[in-house]
Chain A
Amino acid sequence: MNRLPAPILRHLAALRALLVLTVICGIAYPLLVTGIAQAAFKDKADGSLIKDAKGQSVGSALLCQEFVDAKGNPLPQYFQPRPSNAILAGSTNDHGCDPAQSGGSNLGTNSDKLKQQVADRQKTMAAFDSVPGHSVTPGQVAVDAVTASASGLDPDISPLNAAQQEHRIAATRGITAAQVEALVKANTGGRDLGLLGESGVNVLQLNLALDAQYPYTGKYR
């Protein structure tokens, strides 16, 4: 063995070191963490899934999902998540919030394309959220309702964005705006530890609470 030239011995040692570290850091470590995670924090480790009344998972509390009809049009009886770029390229029935396609638009703030997208979204959301007795102008639409997130999977909307959608929800479901507002308030998370990040409203949890408390009787599919 020792007859081999030094560079070869060195690379053999390197290879053995690499294999040893692969076994320790690449196999034992992740498996041990997985074992403990699954034993002690199974719900979180599996992705914080939310179950409906029948015990079926309807999604993750951490990920947005689309509240749209079969054609991809937003359903007025549900709070709508932020615009999403997590879309399978070239797909016709993927409208966003696809966990297999995480990512953002990556358009610069001076991009004409982004400017056009923002303007279009402002117009669409203003029309969508305006109901008799309560009108929303394009300039009033909340900033997070016209911009896409980095992940394309942002589960939250800002409290301002939720407030803007309240009247539409109330009108569609035949309840008062105050009733919707109370539910929004109950589903608004503050900053972590009182100072980290920003407060947001989890859209999936809010919509499930809406369905539980004020079921929508119309047809949507």
Chain B
Amino acid sequence: MSVAIAGWLQAGLLVLALAISYRPLGDYLAHILTSPKHWRIEKFLYRLIGVDSEADQTWSVYIRSVLAISVVGVLLLYSILRVQDHLMLALGMPGMRANLAYNTASSFVTNTNWQNYSGENTLGYTAQFAGLAVQNFISAAVGICVAATLIRGFVRRQSDRVGNFWVDLMRLNLRLLLPFSFVLAIVLVASGVVQSLADPHTVTTVTGGHQTLYTGATASQEAIKELGTNGGGIFNANSSHPFENPNAWTDWLEIYLLLVIGFSLPRTFGRMVGSQKQGYAIVSVMALLWAGSTAINTWLEARGWGAAARLAGGAMEGKEVRFGIPASSLFATSTTLTSTGAVNSTHDSYTPLGGGMALFNILLGEVAPGGTGSGLYGMLILAIVTVFVAGLMVGRTPEYLGKKIRPAEMKYAALYILATPAVVLTFTGIAMAAPSARSSMNNTGPHGLTEVLYAFGSMGNNNGSAFAGLNGDTQFWNLTGGLAMTLGRFLPMIFVGALAGSLAKQKQTPASAGTLATHKPLFVGMLLGVTLIVVGLTYFPALALGPLAEGLS
């Protein structure tokens, strides 16, 4: 079988698996977010935590609760990293330096999982599983929680309540993320991923050399790392490391996991707003963007542009033999179109335009299908912008799902769209102006600019993958990066919450002959166009100086 046919088949198999999961997983998520019944263990935990599980919160209380758990999350994780040498299974690793611990704590709490350290020679086992992995669960659930408030904003009428954060958080962890991760972690171990808390084992190699093998709770973290679109690896090499991703089957499974919640949430949305077709429209846009980006990236990498790749006979620098080019491109596209940021190959060594596509995916705001929850709310904001643009063309007050898109709603949507680019471009500008920041670049010329733009694009959009040649472990990068990740995560969440509150207060507007049908192919096409145009207008100048300049010269 040729490389191209095998590449198409593995992508096709992935689409099939995601299509099969769409209904059951989407419906199950809708059940979790709407069921009035609590499990007995949940009731016990609500008492333990001291929250009223029957209280319905206003948007501002809900978002304040999100911020509260994030603040205590950063503080606890920061402390664990600082004092990890006093914990069990520390493997003799010293406590992390303050600015690196700040960066890492912000990174894992914001679902970014940008890593300025290499796990296997910086962290003990306990800091990895009791510190980092916990935030993999919480940050994934928090994204879905915020998306749930926006859906409720569309569903509820003349209400100022958008749900109960503590109930959503606990249910998503106990009913979805934990049981799924558990089963998948066992599947991963059975397929060769390591899971051992024994001290690193030193072996004498065939020719008398020595290798020390770090293992850790890798499979258990790998499962939630992908399922929760986190992306922070146990090892520096992330999912290209054979202990995290030993063969092409685990690779395929990991790609499936990082996409499956994002691609099923439109079903949850359709079900909760009472029209499956609305869900199909949203998922179509996501699927078209994903398929198009995958095809382009695979083609670019297979062509192997760039002087070194030409000389070598292919773009295999930074790629593993067991995956080859199609599975690497498939992973790279999926990880950058979600907020995952795990990598099975080094994006820095991709062909100029192939690496540029990965960057473009991130700058799209990770909406195809995006991070758990964040992808859905990102796409719904773009849907609101789309009905607004359509409304302007015909001179009507736009509506979406029976709710009027008035100046207040548009204000929040516009702020959402502007927040992340403002963070990304401002910090990129500062970094390019500061000689100390520029000296972190591994490559020169346009490729060096791409490294910097990719870094802040990735952190601002909470992706976490890197053009990893950049040396991020400096005071400048640790501090600005931590700030960029925090702003890029919580500013948009606040605007989504405000939008949800504003929508929930409205009454239902019945659809009329002039209402734009938001479940038809026409709308799908318009939403696709708006998504591409918004990001194109925002980032084109920066992209032109980086990947485009390199790729077209």
In the complex, how many angstroms separate the beta carbon of B205 from the nearest chain A beta carbon?
4
Contact of B348 among A22, A63, A107 (CB under 8 A): A107
Stretch of B271-279, B309-317, B406-414 that contacts chain A: B309-317
Whether A69 lies near B1 (C-beta < 8 A) is no
CB of B515 within 8 A of chain A?
no
Most chain B CB within 10 A, of A111, A150, A192, A197, is at A150
CB of A166 within 8 A of chain B?
no
Q: A103-B237, A150-B346, A198-B322 are in contact. Are A109 and B71 (CB under 8 A)?
A: no
Q: A59-B203, A149-B240, A198-B321 are in contact. Are A109 and B186 (CB under 8 A)?
A: no
Within 8 A of A (CB), among B26-77: 45, 48-51, 64-65, 68-69, 71-73, 76
Most chain B CB within 10 A, of A44, A48, A49, is at A44
Q: A62-B192, A153-B237 are in contact. Are A220 and B207 (CB under 8 A)?
A: yes
In the complex, how many angstroms separate the beta carbon of A81 from the nearest chain B beta carbon?
10
Contact of A26 among B71, B131, B320 (CB under 8 A): B131
User: Which residues of chain A are within 8 angstroms of B247 by Cβ–Cβ distance?
Assistant: 192, 197
Whether B248 lies near A196 (C-beta < 8 A) is yes
Q: How many residues of B contact A (CB 8 A)?
A: 120
Q: Of all chain A residues, which has the CB nearest B128?
A: A30
List A residues at the B interface (Cβ < 8 Å).
7, 9-18, 20-22, 24-27, 29-30, 32-34, 36-38, 40-41, 44-49, 52, 56-60, 62-63, 65-69, 75, 78, 82, 86, 97-112, 114-115, 117-119, 122, 142-144, 146-158, 189, 191-198, 200, 204, 207-208, 211, 220-221
User: Which residues of chain B are within 8 angstroms of A36 by Cβ–Cβ distance?
Assistant: 186, 189
A158 to B319, CA, bound (A): 12
In the complex, how many angstroms separate the beta carbon of A152 from the nearest chain B beta carbon?
7
A146 to B310, CA, bound (A): 12
Whether A37 lies near B248 (C-beta < 8 A) is no
User: Which residues of chain B are within 8 angstroms of A40 by Cβ–Cβ distance?
Assistant: 186, 189-190
User: Which residues of chain A are within 8 angstroms of B150 by Cβ–Cβ distance?
Assistant: none
User: Which residues of chain B are within 8 angstroms of A118 by Cβ–Cβ distance?
Assistant: 308, 311-312, 317
CB of B379 within 8 A of chain A?
no
Contact of A102 among B237, B308, B348, B442 (CB under 8 A): B237
4 closest Cβ pairs, A-B complex = A197-B248, A109-B306, A198-B324, A106-B469
CB of B6 within 8 A of chain A?
yes
A26 to B247, CA, bound (A): 27
A60 to B306, CA, bound (A): 34
Q: Of all chain A residues, which has the CB nearest B253?
A: A196
Q: What 12 additional pairs, Cβ within 8 angstroms, besides A33-B186, A62-B246, A200-B322? A: A17-B170, A20-B48, A22-B76, A34-B217, A58-B206, A63-B213, A102-B237, A111-B443, A118-B311, A154-B320, A191-B248, A197-B323
Which applies to chain A's interface (DSSP): helix, strand, loop or mixed? mixed
Whether A158 lies near B321 (C-beta < 8 A) is yes
A117 to B252, CA, bound (A): 31
User: Which residues of chain A are within 8 angstroms of B134 by Cβ–Cβ distance?
Assistant: 18, 21-22, 25-26
Contact of B213 among A24, A47, A78, A157 (CB under 8 A): A47
User: Which residues of chain B are within 8 angstroms of A191 by Cβ–Cβ distance?
Assistant: 1, 6, 248
CB of B467 within 8 A of chain A?
yes
A33 to B217, CA, bound (A): 8
In the complex, how many angstroms separate the beta carbon of B465 from the nearest chain A beta carbon?
12
Whether A104 lies near B324 (C-beta < 8 A) is no
Whether A12 lies near B50 (C-beta < 8 A) is yes
Contact of A46 among B138, B194, B352 (CB under 8 A): B194
Whether A99 lies near B217 (C-beta < 8 A) is no
Stretch of B177-185, B367-375, B480-488, B490-498 that contacts chain A: B177-185
Q: A37-B195, A151-B240, A151-B241 are in contact. Are A20 and B49 (CB under 8 A)?
A: yes
Q: Of all chain B residues, which has the CB nearest A64?
A: B242
A148 to B181, CA, bound (A): 32
In the complex, how many angstroms separate the beta carbon of A171 from the nearest chain B beta carbon?
19
Most chain A CB within 10 A, of B193, B247, B248, B317, is at B317
A38 to B200, CA, bound (A): 15
Q: A26-B133, A107-B469 are in contact. Are A59 and B322 (CB under 8 A)?
A: no
In the complex, how many angstroms separate the beta carbon of A122 from the nearest chain B beta carbon?
8
User: Which residues of chain B are within 8 angstroms of A109 by Cβ–Cβ distance?
Assistant: 304-309, 315, 317, 349-352
A67 to B209, CA, bound (A): 9
Q: List 30 A-B contacts (CB under 8 A).
A: A13-B49, A15-B76, A17-B49, A21-B134, A21-B138, A25-B178, A30-B133, A40-B186, A44-B191, A44-B194, A49-B213, A60-B242, A66-B207, A67-B206, A100-B200, A101-B118, A101-B120, A107-B317, A110-B352, A110-B550, A111-B308, A112-B307, A115-B308, A152-B237, A196-B249, A196-B251, A196-B252, A197-B322, A198-B248, A221-B207
Whether A18 lies near B73 (C-beta < 8 A) is yes
Whether A104 lies near B197 (C-beta < 8 A) is no
Whether A44 lies near B182 (C-beta < 8 A) is no
Q: Of all chain B residues, which has the CB nearest A49?
A: B203
CB of B386 within 8 A of chain A?
no
Contact of B169 among A17, A44, A189, A196 (CB under 8 A): A17
In the complex, how many angstroms separate the beta carbon of A123 from the nearest chain B beta carbon?
12
Q: Of all chain B residues, which has the CB nearest A68?
A: B207
CB of B427 within 8 A of chain A?
no
User: Which residues of chain A are within 8 angstroms of B447 by Cβ–Cβ distance?
Assistant: 108, 110-111
Whether B49 lies near A16 (C-beta < 8 A) is yes
User: Which residues of chain B are within 8 angstroms of A143 by Cβ–Cβ distance?
Assistant: 312-314, 316
